[in-house]
């Protein structure tokens, strides 16, 4: 299956069921964001555990065609190959070679690994709690939303700061395409500031009222 079709399928799998839920739009957004977060958390863990593998195959990977034009089997998707190749595509355009450090020396990769674990646990609880599958108050859900959002915002700021001092300042104009770097580095990562801020507003309302959001 082609990469574009796989990505579309994964996005639809997360988005369409939530769209048809008979709940308010803010609650739909919260559930969607944390379902999406579970996929990202899985990818972050895969990335961390496979840094040695990425460093080993990255040169060979770049000799082939773009990740978006490749075909993958179900085994590739359920295994590490599809997501590792996707990360290598990101590294190629963002120039973020910290993910290829086999000794895991940069704290950013550790932060993303820990975020993957913590946000998965809290994300599942938030989704189940907000959909009334487990007995938990909306105030407690709101607190968890603020905690996870704070981790995501703080982690993203640290990511950009570390990238600037360790990667960007050493780049030369000939080393990269500025447009692609902006799209991959800023366009992809800025969502980890925008969406956490939005769901934090809803989380604060839950803490304040201990009720679901109906507007």
123 exposure class (CB count in 10 Å sphere: 0-12, 13-18, 19+):
buried
pLDDT tens for residues 26-75?
A: 899 999 999 999 999 999 999 899 988 998 998 888 888 899 999 999 99
pLDDT at 133: 77
146 pLDDT band, cuts 50/70/90, is very high
Closest CA to 126 of 63, 19, 4, 212: 212
List, in order, residues 6 or more apart from 50 with CB less than 8 Å away.
Answer: 80, 84
What's the distance, CA 112 to chain centroid? Answer: 9
- Whether residue 158 is predicted with pLDDT greater than 70 in this model: the reply is yes
- Residue boundaries of the structural domains of the chain: 3-209
pLDDT at 63: 86
Specify which of 40-54, 100-114, 173-187 reaches the highest per-range mean pLDDT.
40-54
Closest CA to 159 of 126, 193, 130, 135: 193
């Amino acid at each position: 299956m082609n990469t574009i079709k796989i990505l579309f399928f994964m996005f639809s799998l997360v988005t369409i069921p939530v769209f048809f839920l008979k709940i308010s739009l803010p609650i739909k957004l919260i559930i969607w964001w944390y379902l999406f977060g579970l996929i990202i958390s899985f990818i972050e863990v895969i990335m961390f555990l496979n840094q040695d593998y990425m460093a080993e195959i990255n040169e060979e990977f770049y000799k082939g065609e773009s990740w978006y034009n490749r075909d993958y089997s179900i085994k590739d998707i359920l295994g590490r190959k599809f997501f590792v190749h996707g990360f290598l595509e990101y590294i190629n355009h963002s120039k973020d070679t910290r993910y290829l450090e086999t000794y895991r020396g940069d704290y950013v990769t550790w932060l993303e690994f820990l975020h993957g674990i913590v946000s998965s646990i809290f994300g599942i609880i938030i989704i189940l709690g907000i959909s009334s599958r487990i007995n938990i108050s909306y105030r407690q859900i709101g607190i968890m939303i603020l905690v996870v959002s704070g981790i995501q915002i703080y982690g993203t700021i640290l990511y950009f700061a570390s990238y600037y001092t360790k990667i960007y300042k050493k780049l030369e104009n000939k080393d990269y395409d500025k447009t692609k770097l902006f799209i991959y580095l800023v366009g992809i990562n800025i969502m980890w500031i925008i969406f956490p801020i939005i769901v934090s507003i809803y989380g604060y309302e839950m803490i304040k009222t201990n009720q679901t959001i109906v507007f």
